[in-house]
Amino acid sequence: MTSSSPRRPSPLPPEIADRLKRSADGLLPAIAQQYDTGEVLMLGWMDDEALHRTLTTGRCTYWSRSRREYWVKGDTSGHFQWVKSVALDCDADTVLVKVDQVGAACHTGARTCFDADVLLADGVDGAVSGTPGADQ
Protein backbone atom coordinates (compact mmCIF):
# COMPACT_ATOMS: atom_id res chain seq x y z
CA MET A 1 0.00 0.00 0.00
CA THR A 2 1.37 3.40 -0.93
CA SER A 3 1.18 6.48 1.25
CA SER A 4 0.62 8.77 -1.73
CA SER A 5 -2.23 11.20 -1.80
CA PRO A 6 -4.48 11.03 -4.86
CA ARG A 7 -3.02 12.68 -7.98
CA ARG A 8 -5.30 15.25 -9.59
CA PRO A 9 -5.03 18.76 -11.00
CA SER A 10 -4.22 21.29 -8.28
CA PRO A 11 -7.20 23.25 -6.96
CA LEU A 12 -4.78 25.93 -5.73
CA PRO A 13 -4.21 29.15 -7.63
CA PRO A 14 -1.20 28.70 -9.96
CA GLU A 15 0.80 31.38 -8.12
CA ILE A 16 0.70 29.11 -5.05
CA ALA A 17 0.75 25.66 -6.65
CA ASP A 18 3.72 26.45 -8.87
CA ARG A 19 5.86 27.43 -5.88
CA LEU A 20 5.27 24.34 -3.73
CA LYS A 21 8.06 21.81 -3.37
CA ARG A 22 6.25 18.60 -2.55
CA SER A 23 7.68 15.23 -1.52
CA ALA A 24 7.68 12.35 -3.99
CA ASP A 25 4.26 11.50 -2.53
CA GLY A 26 2.96 14.97 -3.42
CA LEU A 27 2.83 16.01 0.24
CA LEU A 28 4.03 18.91 2.36
CA PRO A 29 4.63 18.76 6.11
CA ALA A 30 2.21 21.08 7.87
CA ILE A 31 3.14 22.36 11.32
CA ALA A 32 0.21 23.47 13.49
CA GLN A 33 1.11 26.17 16.00
CA GLN A 34 -1.08 27.91 18.59
CA TYR A 35 -1.45 31.42 17.16
CA ASP A 36 -1.28 33.41 20.41
CA THR A 37 1.32 31.49 22.45
CA GLY A 38 3.59 30.05 19.74
CA GLU A 39 3.16 26.54 21.19
CA VAL A 40 3.94 23.90 18.55
CA LEU A 41 0.97 21.53 18.53
CA MET A 42 1.44 18.87 15.88
CA LEU A 43 2.72 17.97 12.44
CA GLY A 44 0.42 16.67 9.73
CA TRP A 45 0.63 16.23 5.98
CA MET A 46 -1.13 18.20 3.26
CA ASP A 47 -1.38 17.78 -0.47
CA ASP A 48 -2.72 20.53 -2.73
CA GLU A 49 -6.35 19.59 -2.01
CA ALA A 50 -5.86 19.57 1.77
CA LEU A 51 -4.10 22.94 1.63
CA HIS A 52 -6.88 24.32 -0.58
CA ARG A 53 -9.54 23.11 1.87
CA THR A 54 -7.58 24.59 4.79
CA LEU A 55 -7.29 27.96 3.03
CA THR A 56 -10.95 28.10 1.99
CA THR A 57 -12.76 26.62 5.00
CA GLY A 58 -10.79 28.04 7.92
CA ARG A 59 -10.37 24.55 9.38
CA CYS A 60 -7.25 22.38 9.11
CA THR A 61 -7.58 19.54 6.64
CA TYR A 62 -4.85 16.93 6.45
CA TRP A 63 -4.04 13.88 4.34
CA SER A 64 -3.79 10.68 6.37
CA ARG A 65 -0.93 8.64 4.98
CA SER A 66 -2.05 5.52 6.87
CA ARG A 67 -5.79 5.71 6.06
CA ARG A 68 -5.24 7.29 2.63
CA GLU A 69 -8.00 9.84 3.14
CA TYR A 70 -8.57 13.46 4.06
CA TRP A 71 -9.45 14.35 7.62
CA VAL A 72 -10.53 17.60 9.19
CA LYS A 73 -9.13 18.22 12.65
CA GLY A 74 -12.00 18.06 15.10
CA ASP A 75 -14.60 16.24 13.00
CA THR A 76 -14.42 13.11 15.14
CA SER A 77 -12.67 14.35 18.28
CA GLY A 78 -14.30 17.75 18.75
CA HIS A 79 -10.78 19.20 19.14
CA PHE A 80 -10.95 21.78 16.37
CA GLN A 81 -8.20 23.82 14.78
CA TRP A 82 -9.52 27.21 13.66
CA VAL A 83 -7.10 28.68 11.14
CA LYS A 84 -5.69 32.14 11.88
CA SER A 85 -2.92 32.25 9.23
CA VAL A 86 -1.08 30.03 6.77
CA ALA A 87 2.51 30.62 5.62
CA LEU A 88 5.11 28.82 3.54
CA ASP A 89 8.69 28.53 4.71
CA CYS A 90 11.50 30.10 2.68
CA ASP A 91 11.95 26.95 0.56
CA ALA A 92 8.18 26.50 -0.04
CA ASP A 93 8.42 22.92 1.22
CA THR A 94 6.72 23.28 4.61
CA VAL A 95 3.48 24.95 5.68
CA LEU A 96 3.03 26.71 9.02
CA VAL A 97 -0.61 26.92 10.07
CA LYS A 98 -1.29 29.16 13.04
CA VAL A 99 -4.48 28.00 14.68
CA ASP A 100 -6.73 28.48 17.65
CA GLN A 101 -6.66 24.94 19.04
CA VAL A 102 -9.77 23.82 20.92
CA GLY A 103 -8.91 20.90 23.18
CA ALA A 104 -6.12 18.42 22.57
CA ALA A 105 -4.08 18.54 19.36
CA CYS A 106 -2.55 15.09 19.76
CA HIS A 107 -4.44 11.88 19.03
CA THR A 108 -3.30 10.64 22.47
CA GLY A 109 -5.37 13.34 24.16
CA ALA A 110 -2.35 15.51 25.05
CA ARG A 111 -2.38 19.22 24.35
CA THR A 112 0.56 18.85 21.92
CA CYS A 113 2.31 15.95 20.23
CA PHE A 114 5.68 17.19 21.53
CA ASP A 115 5.51 17.18 25.32
CA ALA A 116 5.73 13.48 26.24
CA ASP A 117 9.17 12.48 24.93
CA VAL A 118 11.63 15.32 25.50
CA LEU A 119 15.10 14.31 24.30
CA LEU A 120 16.91 17.46 25.45
CA ALA A 121 15.76 20.26 27.70
CA ASP A 122 17.34 23.65 28.32
CA GLY A 123 20.12 23.08 25.77
CA VAL A 124 22.40 21.17 28.13
CA ASP A 125 25.88 20.89 26.52
CA GLY A 126 27.04 17.34 25.91
CA ALA A 127 23.75 15.81 27.01
CA VAL A 128 23.86 13.28 24.18
CA SER A 129 27.26 11.71 23.60
CA GLY A 130 28.57 12.21 20.08
CA THR A 131 26.21 15.10 19.32
CA PRO A 132 27.83 17.73 17.07
CA GLY A 133 28.65 20.76 19.15
CA ALA A 134 28.77 18.81 22.40
CA ASP A 135 31.94 19.16 24.45
CA GLN A 136 33.60 21.59 22.07
Residue 53: closest CA among 94, 20, 24, 86: 86
**Cα–Cα distance list, 25 to 8, 41, 61, 95, 111 (Å):** 12, 24, 17, 16, 29
Q: Is 60 annotated as a binding residue?
A: no
Q: Is 91 annotated as a binding residue?
A: yes
**Contact status, residue 61 vs residue 46, Cβ threshold 8 Å:** yes
Q: Is 48 annotated as a binding residue?
A: no
* CA dist., res. 105 & res. 113, Å (int): 7
* Residues in binding site: 89-91, 93, 106, 113
Annotated binding site for Zn(2+): 90, 106, 113
Could you tell me which residues are annotated as the binding site for Mg(2+)? Answer: 89, 91, 93
